[in-house]
A and B are shown apart, each in its own frame.
Chain A
């Protein structure tokens, strides 16, 4: 094995990628586009919930009550209606997500110091948004009630405070930005695309065209060919991940809080596993179409669905929670989130590194065995 002989293979590989414009776009531009889209357009924030109000009281008290909703950034009062059927229609059409109905005797009850109820209808179809909206509503209304009590007590000459002042402190991602939450997962996703899919496709393509055989009969050893091919995609994957980190830093202010060194240790271990997986797929498939499908189903989909990238693992049914352990991206995500968002050292995730290393060793081992068998 000589470096001098591996280099031309690496060069050849880069030339091929450069010439195939569509693959080039997908490999290098796609990560950049994806990160911008995710950073700017996609978020789970629950703000500006469209609200309809049916004020049957129409008093200054009820208007004051409604103002407690419109003064927040959480609710936008887009519709003021005068009957129940309009509320039905607005909710059915999805134009309003929340409807507030104030009873006729609202101001009367408040002034008389009696208890009253307001009705809140919530479109529950998006459970996520609805849960957060309900929490906001409860807090707004409870605060209103507490203020009423305090006013009465003050007039009676007694002091009263909100008994508990909750001070939430959010660590690592204080503005709760979705981009910060998604970008670590995105790195894993992009690494999987360039490692598993590109590696398997590039090897199988040479098989399909018969150029693999040509290389085999050259003086190059199998090991040299394989190293040459994997090194190319290793470089691309590392470049893509660096690209994502730089864009994340410049555009979305996502700084690496931990050490870049340890982050790249994690990335390398993960990548080696991915390259091994790509090689393994290339040894068991003969056409690019099948290689592509197998890669997507064994790497891309689990990385997207089961790693905790978007969907929290804790909320999945138990059998799926167990199944999540087959995807190394799950462990990779812990490492990346720790290093980028939390700034904790390897003591927080050494076990995850070991899982990843085991996975990588198995993948490299299997593909090496298959390759050597084929070479004979």
Chain B
């Protein structure tokens, strides 16, 4: 026990002397979370729209106003001839163009169908998809209101059945993508910082050669491992508290679930990241190699296949099976569940069990490999 204690003291001395490292381990997660929290939004609002109104009647103007008043579109251009549309869309100045034919009001008044054209710039597939969705919604509502006029005209003789969709949005009623992204970023930052610190901290001693010196002392290898890992556990705990605080106070992401459950399950996740950090240190000779390995073989696939930005449900079935092997996947479900949905262990126990299993297996294997490398 005393020997472990000495190693821990040594590690903290290292940390205190290496101010840069200490700053990185405390400040980097906060800065990353804040920056990513602001930048990583997929909201689509204020879509720049062009209108070609060939009808120029009060009916068509009213119709255009529905788009402007919806809050989704901003009318940035009005043109008078169809050949100007190309130019604006090519330049990327407008994302969507609405073309109203010259017989629009005449058709409306006569109760005939009118074709309205919508041209969308598909180069940003996501925004185009959402923009078209908004437009169809507006037009569906408009059609409904026209029907109501017919209803009143024929009142008494004809009655129409009608279904009103009563849509209620749970968990994130304002549909802010930040509420979804920030908990994910929190998980990401926690993983990156604990894994990087662990692997770099150990490889550094390898590079300098002090790891060999430690091995010739009477310290047992398990004491060495515990002594080396514990400080990172403490830093990870501080980081967990820090990122939760920033998510809650800075971004105002509500924490609807239990704070202590979040802490506990984050602890389970850190088992995995410490284990992976240790593993990376056993396969790398230099710090640069360690960083490259962590970045390209762990961070990238974890980011892509954890459901962090790209929904797992949309992936091909084979890839969906692969995602079960990504521990970050479970932690992201946990963090989002606790922050947004306010669920408890009853809903999360499968994820927690998976994290525990991954943590124990990965950490054990890494420790064994590390011990083998030492001797």
Contacts and interface: CB of A to CB of B under 8 A. Distances in A.
Interface of A: 22-23, 26, 30, 34, 37-38, 40-50, 65, 89, 91-94, 109-132, 134-139, 141-146, 148-149, 152-153, 156, 159-174, 176-178, 180-181, 201, 288-289, 292, 305-306, 308, 310-312, 314-317, 320, 334, 337-338, 341-342, 344, 348-349
B203 to A, nearest CB: 10
Contact of B163 (A93, A117, A134): A117
Interface stretch (B3-11, B225-233, B313-321): B313-321
Q: Which 4 A-B pairs have the closest CB atoms?
A: A135-B133, A173-B122, A142-B140, A113-B159
25 contacts: A43-B315, A44-B125, A45-B314, A48-B314, A111-B161, A113-B161, A116-B164, A125-B179, A126-B311, A128-B126, A129-B311, A132-B129, A134-B137, A136-B133, A141-B165, A142-B141, A146-B143, A164-B113, A168-B136, A173-B123, A174-B122, A180-B125, A312-B41, A320-B39, A348-B90
Interface string B322-351: 000000000001001100110100010000
B161 A110 contact: yes
B291 A289 contact: yes
Interface in B104-127: 108, 111-127
B311 A116 contact: no
Nearest to B173: A124
B123 A201 contact: no
Nearest to A170: B122
Contacts of B45: 314-315
B171 interface: yes
B236 to A, nearest CB: 20
Contact of B314 (A43, A136, A342): A43
Given A138-B137, A153-B158, A344-B90, A161 B113 contact: yes
Interface of B: 35-36, 38-46, 89-92, 108, 111-130, 132-137, 139-144, 146-147, 150, 154, 157-173, 175-177, 179-180, 287-289, 291-293, 296, 300, 304-305, 309-311, 313-316, 319, 333, 336-337, 340-341, 343, 347
Contacts of B111: 159-161, 163
B167 A138 contact: yes
B125 A316 contact: no
- The residue in A111, A172, A316 that gathers the most chain B C-beta atoms within 10 A of its C-beta is A172
A320 B35 CA distance: 9
A234 to B, nearest CB: 22
B150 A160 contact: yes
Given A120-B168, A153-B158, A180-B125, A163 B42 contact: no
Contacts of B165: 117-118, 120, 137-138, 141-142
B163 A132 contact: no
A41 B316 contact: yes
Contacts of B315: 41-43
Contacts of A160: 111, 150
A289 B288 CA distance: 6
- The residue in A119, A146, A311 that gathers the most chain B C-beta atoms within 10 A of its C-beta is A311
A41 B140 contact: no
Nearest to B147: A149
A122 B172 CA distance: 10
B180 A44 contact: no
Nearest to A165: B115
A30 B304 CA distance: 14
A312 B42 contact: yes
A305 B35 contact: yes
Nearest to B107: A163
B144 A169 contact: no
B250 to A, nearest CB: 13
Nearest to A310: B309
A305 to B, nearest CB: 4
A124 B114 contact: no
Contacts of B128: 170, 173, 176
Contacts of A144: 163
